[in-house]
Amino acid sequence: MSLLRFKMVDAAINHAAVEVKVPKGHPSEYFGEKVFNRAAMRKYLDKKTYSILLETMEMRTPLPREVANSVAAGMRQWALDHGADHYTHWFQPLTGGTAEKHDAFAEPDGEGGVLEELSGKLLVQQESDASSFPNGGIRNTFEARGYSAWDPTSPAFIVDTTLCIPTVFISYAGEALDYKVPLLRSISAVDKAATEVCHYFDKNVQRVISYLGWEQEFFLVDESLWAVRPDLMLTGRTLMGHESAKNQQLEDHYFGAIPTRVIAFMRDLEYECLKLGIPVKTRHNEVAPNQFELAPVYEETNLANDHNQLLMTVMDKIARRHKFRVLLHEKPFKGINGSGKHNNWSLGTDAGVNLLGPGKTASDNLQFITFLVNVISAVHKYNGLLKAAIMSATNAHRLGANEAPPAIISTFLGSQISSVLDKLAASRNDDDIRFDAKNVFRMSGVSHMPTLLLDNTDRNRTSPFAFTGNRFEFRAVGSCANCAEAMIVLNSITAAELTEFKQAVDAKIEAGAKKEKAIYEVLKRMIKACEPIRFDGNGYSEEWRTEAAKRGLDCETSTPINFDRFLDEHTMKMFNDLGVFSKVELEARAEVKWETYTKKIQIEGRVLGDLTMNHIVPTASKYEALLLDKVYKMAQIPELNAAADIELIKRIQDHTASIQRLTSEMTEARKQANKIEDQREKAIAYHDRVEIFFDEIRYHIDKLEEIVDDQMWPLPKYRELLFLR
């Protein structure tokens, strides 16, 4: 082991569990204590302001300027009382992650002292020079202003000593420059369309809410070891590393005992989350060594997404306190499972009815089937778009690449629901819809449906979009992604489908059909049309790839080409009609996606180049020189046979020569790609002509790792990185 590596491994072994900051009291006492929530608002705002603010939150309208000053004053006082001295507009730019610029509350009072200030103007709108955030050309350089304003549906909170105000981020002309704006628009779109469809079943429904429950998977590595792996530090994944003799074959990690150090970290993290109002609930080991999962109880989608964004930042901070680093990359290690972020999604009414859960009566169940069929039909029509929403340079390693499920979107419904839909599709109108003596609607297959679906337990883990009894679980979302990307598309395509559905049903009703019969007929047609998206088999199998292509599903594996789906004519029209994205916004987003893709691959290429030329080749050469010296000396003694050593030297020579050749070819390919102006073409060049070298170069490095003296190898090996104690 090299001296540096030895020191780091030694440090990692000796990192003891950090003392957990013991929470005072019970969760019920400290939950949300760092959030300007309703309880805090009631205390810090006058009655009138509070009631206007509540209405704003419920109706999801902008904060009226008249009350902004009083809200700001209350918020400031609450923050000061809770130890804050700075405030920031906290927003979600297209870089991924969150951005914040801190300002002190203290302002000169003009008389030599300072005053704590937070004016209403700052809540309603704040100008920020954000010219360095990606915007896909929306904000050209002479108009470098971006505006941010508080999103009152997401409460302000305190991190360390900073009051964070969740904000939207828009351009001078009102175009979205973040994830929150389109997410909020998609939430409104699905609310409107779903509420109208609900009125077929219940006239009293006022609002439909989109819910999200995310499950966050991640890896932990020891900080000392992380610090001597430039690839982990700079790209979030290992670009090289021979598989450990033992990894996940024994399946002994999943639900196994969580290591003490990790438990200490988790407890600290959970405490911090609860104080921030994130309702974390479950924690457990995942399948791979060093892989874990954390999941809260589901919440309204906008808030749930803010909480996920917040969690990702908070976990990074807390991990450092415990001498860990969190890896949110989808595939940090070759040969073992990657990480995802399952997005459990459902729609519910303001009266608390889950529209994706079966009910007790035939009417409840017709409503449930209506929503279920609309969702899968939307997913069928826009399967390529849904995939584009979760594709990225990093998630590509988890989807479609080696040792990963194919990048194809399909839905799993389970045998019970499948048979209900099949029965419905095969039924004949007049026999299957009946009204009993009391004129209560009856329908075969739908009248009696078990409220607890069997498939709730009998799940298909290989499906990217599975129905799990009362919600859909979108599993293809990447572990470091902003959930909004997937949720914007899901809410929007569902809204579009429900709108179309309602038009078709209304047309039949106008032509004289009874409501239930009209719904039934439209559903029947939809079930037949969207059949290709339904797949209950093994989504990871090779046969599925062939079958899916036959069914006409989107099987494109190239990430930059996937992004084209945002710009399809019918997609642009759909988003535009719903008011979620304008054409300009979509074009800008696609630009940013291509640009980000290119940058990620570019960085990986550079890091790989540096590592091969500065770490790997020199180390292998040193070992080779030792062997050469040995062989040279052996030649002096006729009884000795140096054949095996010569063989080894040849192998090292072959591998290092290949690495040098491939690295220089890769660098040349990068230079050529860099000359391309068009972002899409450039990203495609990086995908087709640069990235293809990575695995090949890695192959030779991993071979060398097996041959070269362990004492010389500079980088911590998988077996050292992967088994936390």
Is 298 one of the binding residues for ligand ADP (CB under 6 A)?
Answer: yes
Is 418 one of the binding residues for ligand ADP (CB under 6 A)?
Answer: no
Task: Indicate which single residue of 4, 59, 106, 297 sits in contact with ligand ADP (rule: CB under 6 A).
Answer: 297
Least distance in angstroms from the C-beta of 347 to Mg ion: 18
Is 179 one of the binding residues for ligand ADP (CB under 6 A)?
Answer: no
Least distance in angstroms from the C-beta of 285 to Mg ion: 15
Q: Give the DSSP letter of residue 104.
A: E
CA dist 345 and 356 (Å) reads 9
Is 576 one of the binding residues for ligand ADP (CB under 6 A)?
Answer: no
3-state secondary structure 642-668: CHHHHHHHHHHHHHHHHHHHHHHHHHH
Q: Which residues pair with 354 in a beta bridge?
A: 348
Q: For residue 150, with 0-12 CB atoms within 10 Å meaning exposed, 13-18 middle and 19 or more buried, which class applies?
A: buried
In the list Mg ion, ligand ADP, none, the entry touching 291 (Cβ below 5 to 8 angstroms by class) is none
Is 323 one of the binding residues for ligand ADP (CB under 6 A)?
Answer: no
For residues 337-376, which are near Mg ion according to CB under 5 A?
Answer: 342
> Residue 709 contacts by C-beta under 8 Å, 6 or more apart in sequence?
623, 626
Least distance in angstroms from the C-beta of 476 to ligand ADP: 14
CA dist 82 and 715 (Å) reads 45
Q: Binding pattern to Mg ion, positions 164-203, x when CB under 5 A?
A: ----------------------------------------
In the list ligand ADP, Mg ion, none, the entry touching 146 (Cβ below 5 to 8 angstroms by class) is none
Is 534 one of the binding residues for Mg ion (CB under 5 A)?
Answer: no
CA dist 462 and 472 (Å) reads 14
Is 37 one of the binding residues for ligand ADP (CB under 6 A)?
Answer: no
Task: Indicate which single residue of 229, 323, 471, 703 sits in contact with ligand ADP (rule: CB under 6 A).
Answer: 471
3-state secondary structure 298-333: CEEHHHHHHHHHHHHHHHHHHHHHCCEEEECCCCCC
Phi, psi of 442 (to 5 degrees): -130, 150
For residues 328-387, which are near ligand ADP according to CB under 6 A?
Answer: 344-346, 354
Nearest to 667 by CA among 713, 602, 616, 720: 602
Least distance in angstroms from the C-beta of 342 to ligand ADP: 6
CA dist 222 and 326 (Å) reads 9
What is the full DSSP assignment across 521-578? Answer: HHHHHHHHHTGGGB--S-TTSHHHHHHHHHTT------HHHHGGGGG-HHHHHHHHHH
Closer residue to Mg ion, CB minimum distance, 211 or 718: 211
Least distance in angstroms from the C-beta of 168 to ligand ADP: 24
Q: Which stretch binds Mg ion (CB under 5 A): 155-163, 207-215, 672-680, 701-709?
A: 207-215
Least distance in angstroms from the C-beta of 205 to ligand ADP: 17
| Cβ proximity of 152 and 63 under 8 Å | yes
Is 414 one of the binding residues for ligand ADP (CB under 6 A)?
Answer: no
Least distance in angstroms from the C-beta of 711 to ligand ADP: 44
Q: Which residue is nearest to ligand ADP (CB)?
A: 213
Closer residue to ligand ADP, CB minimum distance, 282 or 451: 282
3-state secondary structure 465-510: EEECCCCEEECCCECCCCHHHHHHHHHHHHHHHHHHHHHHHHHHHH
In the list ligand ADP, Mg ion, none, the entry touching 655 (Cβ below 5 to 8 angstroms by class) is none
Q: Binding pattern to Mg ion, positions 573-592, x when CB under 5 A?
A: --------------------
Q: What residue ranges bind Mg ion (CB under 5 A)?
A: 215, 342
Q: What residue ranges bind ligand ADP (CB under 6 A)?
A: 211, 213, 215, 282, 295-298, 344-346, 354, 470-471
